[in-house]
């Protein structure tokens, strides 16, 4: 069995991850798994921890270790980018979903229950490759990787509001979580103006003058269970692009309903593309997000391409009923 280095974010999901970490640690000790761990102290800390750990590995150690993340999508994103920052080896990743969203775990079939997800990790005999997205932002000379999605416009604004909402125990008990979603949806519609977008896929250019949403997805889920690109698949070696253009209030409400109930988005104004490489230019200041982490209002000159990364997990090693 591999040796695990754990990056643990006890602050994830309003500190609920602390209890998850305690149960995971107890199970690792019970099974006498070889591991060490490091706790994150502040946002972005996981990226630096991962980079430092990978950079110091000897050539022989590189084949022994798996990095296990206990946290949410943001911690997993930081860890992936930290490994890439080291520019040495793509060390296999595993993930114990402990955040508020856990969209990537849901997208690849990782169990929702932490100890079942741990079982899927410990049952693995070899790494399996899943798609990840790579982006290069030309205007600000930035690049990085994402597991779920990169978006600009209303979708990014909505994701931010859902990310920062405080969970209501009463709403959850009465199954009224949809109310906060539609309130955020209405606010996003009222606050966001349309903007022009230039799209290039291969040698083909398309121009949109009244765009509200630009979303590039690696897998179907975002913001903890909603679907904007139901056809996205983290194993098809393609990225899915959704452009919402010329959206009136009726269309926007219809879009919100379809997203909430995870239905296919097929009506005028919604444009769907699948491609290995995508180039997008937005010449206006727009709000953005990557894997749920907010970006400041900025111009965008973005080049996207799909890549692959090794994950140490055997999704099929537990029954389907244990994955939900």
Structural domain boundaries, residue 122:
3-131+309-323
pLDDT of residue 238: 98
**Per-residue model confidence (pLDDT) at position 175:** 47
Which pLDDT score is estimated for 236? 98
pLDDT tens, residue by residue, 273-285: 999 999 999 999 9
The domain that holds 171 is classified in CATH as 2.60.200.40
Contact 73/291 with Cβ under 8 angstroms?
A: yes
Residue 194 DSSP label: P
Q: What is the pLDDT of residue 188?
A: 72
Predicted confidence at residue 167, as pLDDT, reads: 54
Residue 178: the pLDDT is 62
**pLDDT of amino acid 166:** 59
Considering the domain architecture, whether residues 222 and 245 belong to the same structural domain is answered as yes
CB atoms within 10 A of CB 47: 22
Whether residues 82 and 212 share a domain: the answer is no
Retrieve residue 148's tokens: 């779920």
| 95 lies in the same domain as 196 | no
Q: Is 122 exposed, middle or buried (0-12, 13-18, 19+ CB in 10 A)?
A: buried
> What's the domain count of the chain?
2
Same domain (yes/no): 37, 103: yes
Contact 303, 138 (CB under 8 A): yes
Whole-angstrom Cα distance, residue 133 to residue 236?
12
Residues 91 and 152 in one domain: no
C-alpha distances in angstroms, 95 versus 115, 182, 184, 222, 284? 11, 30, 29, 17, 36
Sign of CA dihedral 42, 99, 287, 46: positive
> d(Cα 77, Cα 74) in Å, to the nearest integer?
5
Whether residue 317 sits in one domain with residue 207 = no
The separation between CA 107 and the C-alpha centre of its own chain, rounded to angstroms, equals 9
For the chain, which residues score pLDDT lower than 70?
160-181, 224
Asked if 43 and 184 sit in the same domain, the reply is no
My answer on whether 225 and 290 are in the same domain is yes
Q: In terms of domains, do 96 and 142 share one?
A: no
CB under 8 Å to 274, separation ≥6 — which residues? Answer: 231, 236, 238, 239, 240, 241
pLDDT digits (tens, 9 = 90+) for 234-243: 999 999 999 9
What is the model's pLDDT at position 171? 46
231 and 102 co-located in one domain: no
Are residues 166 and 89 both part of a single domain?
no
Residues 114 and 244 in one domain: no
Task: Check which CATH number belongs to the domain holding 34 and give it.
Answer: 3.40.50.10330
**Separation CA 142–CA 165 (nearest Å):** 29
């Amino acid at each position: 069995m591999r040796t695990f280095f754990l990056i643990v974010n006890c602050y994830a999901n309003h500190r609920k991850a602390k209890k998850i970490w305690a149960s995971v640690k107890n199970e690792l000790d019970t099974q006498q798994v070889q591991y060490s761990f490091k706790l994150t102290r502040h946002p972005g800390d996981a990226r630096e921890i991962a980079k430092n750990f990978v950079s110091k590995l000897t050539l022989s150690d590189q084949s022994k270790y798996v990095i296990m993340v206990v946290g949410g999508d943001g911690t997993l994103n930081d860890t992936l980018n930290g490994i890439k920052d080291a520019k040495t080896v793509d060390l296999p990743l595993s993930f114990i979903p402990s955040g508020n969203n856990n969209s990537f775990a849901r997208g690849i079939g990782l169990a929702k229950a932490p100890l079942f997800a741990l079982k899927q990790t410990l049952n693995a005999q070899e790494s399996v490759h899943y798609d990840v997205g790579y982006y290069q932002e030309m205007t600000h000379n930035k690049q990085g990787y994402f597991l779920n999605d990169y978006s600009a416009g209303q979708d990014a604004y909505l994701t931010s509001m859902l990310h920062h909402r405080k969970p209501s125990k009463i709403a959850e008990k009465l199954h009224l979580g949809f109310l906060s979603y539609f309130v955020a949806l209405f606010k996003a519609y009222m606050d966001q103006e349309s903007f022009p977008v230039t799209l290039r896929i291969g040698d083909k250019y398309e121009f949109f003058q009244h765009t509200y949403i630009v979303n590039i997805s690696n897998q179907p889920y975002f913001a903890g269970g909603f679907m904007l690109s139901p056809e996205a698949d983290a194993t098809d070696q393609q990225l899915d692009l959704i452009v919402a253009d010329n959206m009136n209030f009726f269309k926007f409400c219809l879009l919100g309903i379809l997203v909430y109930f995870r239905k296919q988005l097929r009506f005028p104004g919604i444009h769907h593309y699948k491609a290995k490489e995508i180039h997008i230019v937005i010449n206006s200041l727009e709000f953005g997000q990557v894997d749920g982490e907010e970006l400041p209002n900025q111009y965008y000159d973005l080049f996207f391409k799909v890549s692959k990364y090794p994950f140490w997990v055997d999704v099929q090693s537990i029954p389907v009923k244990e994955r939900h």
